[in-house]
């Protein structure tokens, strides 16, 4: 069982890439729970690949046995948050983690905006920590998604044996990239042009050591494994059947002179 980290700054296309990863792997598991922090993965339900479930106050009180039964009855569940971050972390995520350990079969747990669930320098629920550290041995695979890598509990990031990392501008986030990969983390800074010391597999199509960039309509990512496998990926070359419904929000207009 794998533990995968998907991380990039806001606007880099994390949720699209994550949905593609879920769709590509969903048939390999007996049960899947997507802890959907911002309601970005309902396209999986619209495509008939999962059941959508809004998590309000009543649903947040579900027991371990209740979640296990949901997994048994539905196979795949997209759980969309409609409670506070604290309730989501302490009640929902922790209970789902325990239910995954009790489920009889292979399970995939996807944790969106994982820095709110497993927080750097703050208390991470014990069950969530166990999900990151011992879930693999219990038949539980995980995908952790974050736009704030520096705020994600190091216990989680250090346990991930596969990583899909995009662009970062924050120096703190890039420092964390350096801590968890085996190649120069500066390649993830789109404000730079080139970076020294890149493995050949991470050079661009012209064999140049350029940093990652948006590729219109996609963006560039680096997939790496603990065993030393590297791949530079353009998300515009990836495909999926389900539609992505990420909340883009409104755009502020450009200032104009009166």
CA distance 216 to 236: 8
Model's pTM, two decimal places? Answer: 0.93
Q: Which two tokens stand for residue 136?
A: 């693999």
Contacts of 25 (CB under 8 A, 6+ apart): 108
In a domain, 242, yes or no: no
The number of beta carbons lying within 10 Å of the beta carbon of residue 218 is 17
Report yes or no on 254 lying in a domain.
no
In a domain, 133, yes or no: yes
Separation of first and last alpha carbons in the chain: 60
Q: Within a domain: residue 249? A: no
| Residue 244 falls inside a structural domain | no
Q: How many domains does the chain have?
A: 1
Mean pLDDT of all residues belonging to the chain? 92
Peptide bond into 147 cis (omega under 30): no
3-state secondary structure of 40: coil
Q: What is the pLDDT along the chain (258 residues), one digit of tens a residue?
A: 789 999 999 999 999 999 999 999 999 999 999 999 999 999 999 999 999 999 999 999 999 999 999 999 999 999 999 999 999 999 999 999 999 999 999 999 999 999 999 987 778 999 999 999 987 788 899 999 999 999 999 999 999 999 999 999 999 999 999 999 999 999 999 999 999 999 999 999 999 999 999 887 889 999 999 888 999 999 999 999 999 987 654 444 545 554
Contact 198, 209 (CB under 8 A): yes
Q: Do the domain assignments include residue 190?
A: yes
How would you list the strands of the sheet with 31-36, edge to edge?
A: 51-55, 76-81, 31-36, 107-111, 140-146, 3-7, 162-165, 220-225, 230-234
CA distances to 7, 32, 164, 187, 233 from 148, in Å: 8, 24, 14, 17, 21
Tens-digit pLDDT profile for residues 54-113: 999 999 999 999 999 999 999 999 999 999 999 999 999 999 999 999 999 999 999 999
Q: CATH number for the domain including 192?
A: 3.40.50.300
Question: What gap in Å lies between CA 45 and CA 80, rounded to an integer?
Answer: 11
Residues 154/115, Cβ–Cβ less than 8 Å: no
C-beta separation of 129 from 98 below 8 A: no
Alpha carbons 110 and 129: distance in angstroms, whole number: 14
161 three-state secondary structure: coil
Only one residue has tokens 């011992």, namely: 134
**Is 251 within the bounds of a domain?**
no
On whether residue 257 sits in a domain, the answer given is no
Helices (H), the chain: 14-25, 42-46, 57-60, 64-74, 85-87, 94-102, 126-134, 154-159, 171-180
Provide the domain limits for residue 70: 3-237
């Amino acid at each position: 069982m794998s533990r995968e980290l998907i991380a990039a700054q806001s606007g880099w296309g994390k949720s699209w890439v994550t949905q593609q990863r879920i769709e590509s792997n969903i048939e390999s598991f007996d049960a899947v729970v997507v802890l959907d922090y911002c309601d970005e993965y309902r396209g999986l339900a619209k495509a008939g690949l999962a059941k959508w479930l809004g998590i309000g106050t009543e649903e947040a009180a579900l027991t371990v046995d209740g979640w296990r039964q949901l997994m048994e009855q539905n196979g795949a569940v997209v759980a969309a948050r409609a409670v506070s971050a604290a309730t989501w972390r302490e009640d929902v995520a922790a209970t789902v983690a325990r239910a995954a350990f009790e489920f009889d079969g292979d399970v995939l747990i996807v944790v969106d905006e994982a820095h709110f669930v497993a927080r750097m320098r703050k208390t991470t629920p014990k069950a969530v920590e166990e999900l990151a550290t011992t879930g693999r041995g219990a038949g539980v695979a995980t995908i952790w998604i974050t736009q704030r890598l520096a705020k994600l509990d190091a216990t989680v990031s250090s346990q991930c044996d596969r990583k899909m990392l995009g662009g970062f501008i924050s120096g703190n986030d890039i420092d964390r990239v350096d801590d968890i990969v085996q190649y120069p983390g500066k390649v993830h800074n789109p404000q730079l042009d080139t970076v020294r010391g890149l493995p050949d597999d991470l050079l661009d199509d012209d064999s140049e050591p350029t940093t990652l960039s948006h590729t219109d309509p996609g963006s560039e990512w680096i997939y790496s494994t603990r065993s030393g496998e590297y791949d530079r990926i353009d998300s515009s070359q990836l495909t999926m059947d389900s539609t992505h419904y990420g909340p883009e929000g409104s755009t502020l207009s450009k200032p104009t002179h009166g």
